[in-house]
Amino acid sequence: RLKLSYQERAKLTKNVVAEKLFQIMSTKQTNLCLAADVTVASDLLNLAEQVGPYICALKTHIDIIEDFSSNLLSPLKEIAHRHNFLLFEDRKFADIGKTVELQFSKGIHLISSWASLVTAHSLLGKGVLDGIKAASLDSCGVFLLAETSAAGSLITESYTKSTVKLASDYPQLVAGIVCQNNLFLDNPGLIQLTPGVNINKTSDNMGQQYNSPEFVVGKKGADIAVVGRGITEAKDPVETAKLYRNLLWEAYTMRLK
C-alpha cells in the first residue's frame, strides 16, 4: 500500500467515494483534509471557499454550528463541487443500526443529503454500517475509527484489530480507517485517515496529541492527514493550509520513492 500511488489505488478500492477521493487527491495533489471546526455558518462557508483549492475533503462537526439552518447546505455543496473536494461529516456514529439510520438521514442536519463521507465507531458492531447503508441516498463512504489521537483512550489492540476486520467485511461501504498506525498494509484499497497533525504543537490541554506531517505520512502510513486548529487558528489560514498541503504532499512523494 505504501509504495502505490493514489492514482493506482483508485482502481483497487470497491467503495465509489474512496475511488473519487483518490482521484481528487491525485488531480489536486493534496492529501490534506481540513477539520473545519468553527461554530458560525458564515465562517464555515468562508473557510471552505478560501481553503477549498488546497484540500481533498472538508471535515465538519455540523452539530457545533450555532446558527445552523438547512440554508447552509446548498452553498456548502456548491463550494465543494466548484473546488472539487468532498464533504465529510465527522459524526462518529455509535448506536444500534436503526438509530444510526435515523441519525444519518433525519433530524435537522439531514447528513445523508450532503455528506459523501462519514465516520463511525465500531463499538456496537456491524449494525452501525447496516444503518448507514440503509439510509444512504447516493453513494457513501464510511471511515471506521480503529484508533484515536486522544491520550488515555480506552481502545485496545484487539478492538483495533476487530475494527479493521469489520471494515474488510464491508468493502463497498467502508472507504477507510481512522487510525494512528499503519494497520492494513495488505489492503491498498482502504484509506488511512490520521488526525492529530500540527507543526507547532505536540498536544492541547484536553488530551489531543499531535505529530508532524512527515511523521504521520512517512512513518505511520497516513494517506490523508486531518488538520484543524493548526490551520483554523493560524494568523493566515490560507497560507497555512498551503504550507500543510505542501508538507503532506512532499511526505507522500518521498514515501513512493
Residues that bind ligand UP6 (CB under 6 A): 35, 37, 61, 90, 148-150, 178, 195-196, 208, 226-230
Q: Where are the alpha helices (DSSP H) in 90-188?
A: 97-105, 127-135, 157-169
Residue 200: CB minimum distance to ligand UP6, A: 11
90 vs 223 by CB, closer to ligand UP6: 90
Q: Quote the least distance from Cβ 27 to ligand UP6, whole Å.
A: 24
Contacts 24+ apart (CB under 8 A), 72-80: 72/41, 72/44, 72/45, 73/110, 73/113, 73/114, 75/45, 76/44, 76/45, 76/48, 76/114, 77/114, 79/45, 79/48, 79/49, 79/52, 80/48, 80/52
Contact between 240 and 230 under an 8 Å Cβ cutoff? The reply is yes
Does residue 217 contact residue 251 with C-beta atoms inside 8 Å?
yes
Active site residues: 90, 92, 95
Residues 6+ apart with CB under 8 A from 132: 93, 100, 101, 104, 118, 120, 140, 142, 173
10 vs 144 by CB, closer to ligand UP6:
144
Contact between 46 and 75 (Cβ < 8 Å): no
- Whole-angstrom Cα distance, residue 135 to residue 146? 23
- The answer to whether the annotation marks 149 as part of a ligand binding site is yes
Query: Nearer to ligand UP6 by C-beta: 10 or 217?
Result: 217
Nearest distance in Å: CB 29, ligand UP6: 21
Measure the CA–CA gap between 79 and 81, rounded to whole angstroms. 5
In whole angstroms, the minimum distance from the beta carbon of 147 to ligand UP6 comes to: 7
Residue 17 or 36 with smaller CB distance to ligand UP6: 36
Shortest Cβ contact with ligand UP6: which residue?
A: 228
On whether 153 is known to bind a ligand per the annotation, the reply is no
CB of 30 to ligand UP6, least distance (A): 16
| Residue 59 annotated as lining a ligand binding site | yes
User: Does the annotation list 228 as a binding residue?
Assistant: yes
Residue 126 vs 201, nearer CB to ligand UP6: 201
CA distance 149 to 195: 7
- Compute the distance between CA of residue 108 and CA of residue 96 in angstroms, rounded to an integer: 20
Summarize the annotated binding site as residue ranges: 37, 59, 149, 208, 228-229
Summarize the annotated binding site for substrate as residue ranges: 37, 59, 149, 208, 228-229
